[in-house]
Amino acid sequence: MEWRIMLKQLQKKDSFVFNAVKTFKLEKAEENKIKVLFPSDSAKVEFDKISGEFFNHFKRKIQNHIIEIEYVRDVENLKIEVVTKRKMFEKFIEKNPLLKDLDDLMKFDLT
């Protein structure tokens, strides 16, 4: 329930991060362990930006501060992958390694 509330707030506040994390699934693995299923590494990077705030709130809400978080890549339910400029550029580098030299020379801003 807290996850859905956070997603609604995030949709209004930061739509880019919302689109990256809306496919994440949280499952209770054990009494003090939560599994976070994520579709891609780039989506997890966006999730890392908000995960501290979310889990701090969640632990206070349920009054259990010994919860462990386990991240598991969920390749079966891969629907949407957030492709950043850096990620696209790295794919181009695989095809043409000279682009890496060009990036080193020109210092492209791929944020």
pLDDT tier, 76 (very low <50, low <70, confident <90, very high otherwise) = low
* Whether residue 41 sits in one domain with residue 13: yes
Q: Which residues pair with 27 in a beta bridge?
A: 35
* Whether residue 60 sits in one domain with residue 88: no
37 within 8 A of 24, measured Cβ to Cβ: yes
Give the residue from 43, 69, 42, 73 showing the smallest Cα distance to 56.
Answer: 69
* Whether residue 65 sits in one domain with residue 87: no
39 within 8 A of 23, measured Cβ to Cβ: yes
Tens-digit pLDDT profile for residues 80-106: 566 788 888 888 989 998 998 988 888
* Whether residue 62 sits in one domain with residue 30: yes
* Whether residue 30 sits in one domain with residue 61: yes
* Whether residue 55 sits in one domain with residue 20: yes
Number of domains present in the structure of the chain: 2
Q: Which residues pair with 72 in a beta bridge?
A: 37
* Whether residue 106 sits in one domain with residue 55: no
39 within 8 A of 74, measured Cβ to Cβ: yes
**Cα 82 from chain centroid?**
9
Tens-digit pLDDT profile for residues 14-57: 888 888 888 888 888 888 888 888 888 888 888 888 888 888 88
* Whether residue 67 sits in one domain with residue 15: yes
Give the range of the structural domain holding residue 96, as residue numbers without chain letter. 81-110
